[in-house]
Amino acid sequence: MRVYIASKYIAHKELNRKIYEELVRAKIPVFLPECINMDAIDLNRSYIVAEKCFAEIEKCNVILAVCPFGKSVSSELGYAIALRRALKQEKVIIALYLDFEKEAMLIPYVDKSFEDIQECIEYLKKLEV
Protein backbone atom coordinates (compact mmCIF):
# COMPACT_ATOMS: atom_id res chain seq x y z
CA MET A 1 0.00 0.00 0.00
CA ARG A 2 1.13 3.55 -0.77
CA VAL A 3 -0.81 6.67 0.29
CA TYR A 4 -1.01 9.96 -1.62
CA ILE A 5 -2.07 12.92 0.53
CA ALA A 6 -4.17 15.31 -1.57
CA SER A 7 -4.60 18.49 0.42
CA LYS A 8 -4.27 22.25 0.44
CA TYR A 9 -0.59 23.14 0.55
CA ILE A 10 -0.66 26.15 2.89
CA ALA A 11 -3.96 25.98 4.81
CA HIS A 12 -3.46 22.34 5.85
CA LYS A 13 0.32 22.41 6.24
CA GLU A 14 0.39 21.34 9.91
CA LEU A 15 -2.35 18.75 9.45
CA ASN A 16 -0.60 17.34 6.36
CA ARG A 17 2.67 17.05 8.27
CA LYS A 18 0.91 15.28 11.17
CA ILE A 19 -0.72 12.74 8.84
CA TYR A 20 2.54 12.21 6.97
CA GLU A 21 4.57 11.67 10.14
CA GLU A 22 1.99 9.27 11.63
CA LEU A 23 2.00 7.16 8.47
CA VAL A 24 5.81 7.15 8.27
CA ARG A 25 5.92 6.04 11.93
CA ALA A 26 3.53 3.22 11.04
CA LYS A 27 5.88 2.25 8.18
CA ILE A 28 3.23 3.03 5.57
CA PRO A 29 4.72 4.40 2.35
CA VAL A 30 3.30 7.88 1.80
CA PHE A 31 3.71 10.79 -0.60
CA LEU A 32 3.05 14.38 0.40
CA PRO A 33 3.30 16.80 -2.57
CA GLU A 34 5.01 19.48 -0.49
CA CYS A 35 7.99 17.10 -0.32
CA ILE A 36 8.69 18.03 -3.95
CA ASN A 37 10.04 21.23 -2.40
CA MET A 38 9.42 23.42 -5.43
CA ASP A 39 7.15 26.45 -5.64
CA ALA A 40 4.96 26.29 -8.74
CA ILE A 41 5.49 29.98 -9.52
CA ASP A 42 5.81 29.77 -13.30
CA LEU A 43 4.65 27.53 -16.14
CA ASN A 44 7.76 25.34 -16.17
CA ARG A 45 7.78 24.73 -12.41
CA SER A 46 4.02 24.17 -12.39
CA TYR A 47 4.48 21.52 -15.08
CA ILE A 48 7.28 19.79 -13.14
CA VAL A 49 5.22 19.73 -9.93
CA ALA A 50 2.08 18.52 -11.73
CA GLU A 51 3.94 15.72 -13.52
CA LYS A 52 5.58 14.54 -10.30
CA CYS A 53 2.20 14.56 -8.54
CA PHE A 54 0.46 12.67 -11.35
CA ALA A 55 3.30 10.10 -11.43
CA GLU A 56 2.88 9.59 -7.68
CA ILE A 57 -0.89 9.20 -8.02
CA GLU A 58 -0.20 6.42 -10.53
CA LYS A 59 2.05 4.67 -7.97
CA CYS A 60 -0.27 5.10 -5.00
CA ASN A 61 -3.29 2.90 -4.44
CA VAL A 62 -4.78 5.03 -1.65
CA ILE A 63 -5.64 8.68 -2.15
CA LEU A 64 -6.36 10.59 1.06
CA ALA A 65 -8.28 13.78 0.31
CA VAL A 66 -8.18 16.33 3.12
CA CYS A 67 -11.24 18.55 2.79
CA PRO A 68 -12.07 21.29 2.10
CA PHE A 69 -9.85 21.53 -0.93
CA GLY A 70 -9.33 23.64 -4.02
CA LYS A 71 -8.72 23.20 -7.72
CA SER A 72 -5.37 21.42 -7.49
CA VAL A 73 -6.73 18.70 -5.22
CA SER A 74 -9.80 18.43 -7.46
CA SER A 75 -7.41 17.79 -10.34
CA GLU A 76 -5.53 15.14 -8.36
CA LEU A 77 -8.76 13.40 -7.39
CA GLY A 78 -10.10 13.62 -10.93
CA TYR A 79 -6.95 11.93 -12.20
CA ALA A 80 -7.20 9.16 -9.60
CA ILE A 81 -10.86 8.61 -10.47
CA ALA A 82 -10.00 8.48 -14.18
CA LEU A 83 -7.30 5.88 -13.52
CA ARG A 84 -9.79 3.85 -11.53
CA ARG A 85 -12.60 4.12 -14.07
CA ALA A 86 -10.80 3.98 -17.41
CA LEU A 87 -7.76 1.87 -16.62
CA LYS A 88 -9.33 -0.20 -13.82
CA GLN A 89 -6.45 0.64 -11.48
CA GLU A 90 -7.14 -0.05 -7.85
CA LYS A 91 -7.47 3.35 -6.18
CA VAL A 92 -9.07 3.62 -2.74
CA ILE A 93 -10.27 7.17 -2.13
CA ILE A 94 -10.57 8.25 1.48
CA ALA A 95 -11.90 11.64 2.53
CA LEU A 96 -11.11 13.44 5.75
CA TYR A 97 -13.62 16.14 6.78
CA LEU A 98 -15.78 15.65 3.67
CA ASP A 99 -18.51 18.26 3.19
CA PHE A 100 -21.25 16.30 1.46
CA GLU A 101 -23.00 19.48 0.30
CA LYS A 102 -19.94 20.90 -1.47
CA GLU A 103 -18.33 17.79 -2.95
CA ALA A 104 -21.17 16.32 -5.04
CA MET A 105 -18.95 15.02 -7.86
CA LEU A 106 -16.58 13.31 -5.44
CA ILE A 107 -19.09 11.57 -3.20
CA PRO A 108 -19.85 8.61 -5.53
CA TYR A 109 -16.14 7.74 -5.61
CA VAL A 110 -15.30 8.05 -1.91
CA ASP A 111 -14.75 4.61 -0.44
CA LYS A 112 -14.48 5.78 3.16
CA SER A 113 -14.96 9.09 4.96
CA PHE A 114 -13.74 10.23 8.38
CA GLU A 115 -14.38 13.21 10.62
CA ASP A 116 -11.62 12.26 13.05
CA ILE A 117 -7.98 12.28 12.01
CA GLN A 118 -6.94 9.53 14.44
CA GLU A 119 -9.71 7.22 13.21
CA CYS A 120 -8.55 7.85 9.66
CA ILE A 121 -4.93 7.07 10.50
CA GLU A 122 -5.89 3.92 12.42
CA TYR A 123 -7.96 2.78 9.43
CA LEU A 124 -5.01 3.34 7.10
CA LYS A 125 -2.74 1.33 9.41
CA LYS A 126 -5.12 -1.64 9.13
CA LEU A 127 -5.97 -1.27 5.45
CA GLU A 128 -4.62 -3.95 3.17
CA VAL A 129 -4.65 -2.97 -0.48
pTM (2 d.p.): 0.92
| Torsion from C-alpha of 44, 56, 119, 84, nearest 10 degrees | 110
Walk me through the domains of the chain, giving residue ranges and CATH numbers. 3-126 (3.40.50.450)
Helix (H) and strand (E) counts in the chain: 4, 5
Q: Which of 93, 22, 23, 11 is closest to 57 using CA atoms?
A: 93
pLDDT surpassing 90 at residue 38: no
Residue 2 has pLDDT above 80, yes or no: yes
**Quick count: other Cβ atoms within 10 Å of Cβ 23?**
23
Omega of the bond prior to 68 within 30 degrees of 0, cis? yes
In tens, the pLDDT along 48-91 reads 999 999 999 999 999 999 988 889 999 999 999 999 999 988 99
What pLDDT is attached to residue 99?
76
In tens, the pLDDT along 94-121 reads 999 877 667 778 889 999 999 999 999 9
| DSSP-derived pairing of the beta strands 62-66 and 92-96 | parallel
Q: What is the pLDDT of residue 98?
A: 77
pLDDT band at 4 (very low <50, low <70, confident <90, very high): very high
Average pLDDT over residues 2-18: 92
Pairwise CA distance, residues 74 & 107, whole Å: 12
